[in-house]
Structure 1
Amino acid sequence: MGQNTLMDTDFHFPSQKSVYKGKVREVYTLGNDILVMVATDRLSAFDVVMPKGIPYKGQILNQIATQMMQATEDIVPNWLMATPDPNVAIGKACDPFKVEMVIRGYLSGHAAREYKAGKRMLCGEPMPEGMQENDKFPEPIITPATKAEKGDHDEDISKEDILKRGIVSQADYEVLEKYTKALFQRGTEIAAKRGLILVDTKYEFGKTKDGEIVLIDEIHTPDSSRYFYADGYEERQAKGEAQKQLSKEFVRQWLISNGFQGLEGQTVPKMGDDYIESVSERYIELYESITGEDFIKADVSNIHERIGINVSNYLNSLP
């Protein structure tokens, strides 16, 4: 089964200058300020990459992100030029901002864990007293995180600290804030049409060579966002039950129940083929729920070769 997953790549595209390998994506920088971003099937949780890949995961993330970029390009400019292969996005090279813009509409995940620990401020944003896990905030809150260097955990940071430390200028940060709110509003509307609630998500931005701030990386995917099913949300909250959700939180919960939270000295539990198959099926369910379309599996008999041909054909077609 493992042979049909894309765990890493080793391409040599024309005019290639450098390669950056993230937890899940591999980014090739070419001359003329073009980036080729390959979404692998690697699975990362608690900032640790799991030993085995998840079939079709890269395709799923790439195709959701592409659709969502296209569905928001009227309100926020983005880096994307083309998606010549199910696992590949090609776009404009940008200088990324060193913060992730996390926005939360509900008290879930990391925010809920902090709240349970007694905190009522997150990244300088107040969280009202008397909330229970998965309750809706009166207004969405922006809780940025500094982007970790390889291997480190992302860290919460307040707007005040971002400006004080000069990580982002005041003028640029105001644009990031405005774009984050607009994207979350649109994402919420798209989700509602599919019977989903967009709970929280993160956006990443960069600046093009012309100084334009654009949306980069993935958007509204189950790796960067948390969704609940709208149907039954109120009843589950009233009974204090866990929400039925669409995100990779189910992987985190499985890891926690098997004694792993990415802490020092902990070992990643073994994922059997059946479990990996079930994760792949959950990702396909996520895709179909989020996009409202059937998932069409790409040919994975030789993913590496397929990507190489598709990307080369696209690059050759450029003026």
Structure 2
Amino acid sequence: MNAIKSTNFSFENATGVYHGKVRDVYFFENKIAIVATDRISAFDVVLDRAIPYKGQVLNQIAEKFLKLTADVVPNWLENAPSPNVHIGKKCDAFEVEMVIRGYLAGHAWREYKAGKRMLCGVALPEGLKENDKLPTPIITPSTKAKEGHDEDISREEILAQGIVSEEDYTKLEEYTYALFQKGTEFADEQGLILVDTKYEFGKYDGEIYLIDEVHTPDSSRYFYKEGYAERQAADEPQKQLSKEFVRQWLIENNFQGKEGQVQPIMSDEFVNSVSERYIELYEKITGEKFEKTSYDNRDEEIFKSISTQLG
């Protein structure tokens, strides 16, 4: 099956390269070029199979939302010369991810179900069930692990460890709430509920910038608005657009990224179903038809799109 599993380009002016869980990042003097591959990760593990068109979906959703939120916070993106490529400012990233949750779902629900009523220093009320709306959105930060699992961390721990200054962290919180509000409003217009998401930030010339991706299915969870209340009242699972169905499939196949566990084999049929779900989310959240880019000579096209601008 056609998919971009990885890239290994050599650019004359590049100063380095970093292969993340999903993205390949090429560093230049004061710019970076990010290639959104078709790799997929879950439980902080890169899965063995790549998902066709996933990288294009992520890149183009991120581009749309970076443009839509530029009036809320400045962001790093300067150009998108290819469906899988973004070029922009090389920011110094803060070593935390700003996770914000409007509903009790995913990791937060698993923690709550296990009996925890404090998440990243934030108290959760008793009597909630899975996918309930929270009284107010909460920020539950996590550390950014280069390898292995990201870890929950509280505001107090971030400040005590000096990971981010109090002045900067206060600004990150302000930006996070504002971005979530903007994303919530746009999702609502498309008949969706933005359940939770994460934002990453960095600094460039002393100013805070939004970096990485925004409101994509890799960084966000969406429910369908229609029927949400009825499904909650009936204790039925919510119809959602996110990676959660991949996580659930892995859990059902005894894999959560823990030591000693073996990845289950993803069939072509399952890989295609994941690809279709990503395309569905693209069309639903953007309101636009997804145009598949041919995989013929894709590596060459990506290389040229970067080298033409950055060398």
- Which bin holds the TM-score, normalised by the shorter protein? over 0.9
Deviations for 1:26-74, whole angstroms, at most 9, x for unmatched residues?
110012x000001000010111111111000000000000100000001
Q: Secondary structure at the match of 2:306?
A: helix
- Fraction of identical pairs, as percent: 65
Partner of residue 186, structure 1: 182
Structure 1 position 17, deviation (Å): 0.1
| 2:170 counterpart residue number | 174
Structure 2 counterpart of 1:85, one-letter code:
S
Show the counterpart of 1:13.
Answer: 11
In structure 1, the residue corresponding to 2:183 is in which secondary structure?
helix
The one-letter code sitting in structure 2 at the alignment partner of 1:28 is Y
Of 181, 185, 199, the residue aligned with 2:195 is 199
1:288 aligns with 2:286: no
Q: Secondary structure at the match of 1:16?
A: coil
Following TM superposition, by how much is the alpha carbon of 1:111 offset from its aligned partner in structure 2, in angstroms?
Answer: 0.7
Which of 261, 269, 291 is residue 256 of structure 2 equivalent to? Answer: 261
Give the structure 1 partner of residue 134 of structure 2.
137
Q: Which residue of 2 aligns with 1:309?
A: 304
Deviation at 1:13, TM superposition (A): 2.1
Corresponding position of 2:295: 300
Q: Does structure 2 conserve the Cα–Cα contact (< 8 Å) formed by 1:56 and 1:280?
A: yes
Unpaired segments ≥5 residues, structure 2: none
| Residue 113 in structure 1 maps to residue 110 in structure 2 | yes
Greater mean deviation of Cα atoms: 300-309 or 247-256 = 300-309
Structure 1 length-normalised TM: 0.96
User: Which residue of structure 2 aligns with residue 55 of structure 1?
Assistant: 52
| Cα shift readout 1:174-210 (whole Å, capped 9, x = no counterpart) | 11000000000000001001000000000000001x1
Secondary structure of the 1:242 match is coil
Superposed structure 1 runs of 4+ greater than 4 Å apart:
none
Residue equivalent to 1:214: 209
How far apart are the structure 1 equivalents of 2:87 and 2:304? 14
Between the aligned partners of 1:282 and 1:142, the Cα distance in structure 2 is: 27
The 1-side partners of 2:160 and 2:231 are apart by 42
The whole-number CA distance in structure 2 between the counterparts of 1:11 and 1:71 is 31
Q: What residue is the counterpart of 2:239 in the other structure?
A: 244
Q: Could you tell me how far apart the structure 1 residues matched to 2:296 and 2:11 are?
A: 21
Give the TM-score, by structure 2 length: 0.98
- Structure 1: gaps (5+ residues): none
Deviation at 1:302, TM superposition (A): 2.0
Instruction: Report whether the alignment pairs 1:43 with 2:40.
Output: yes
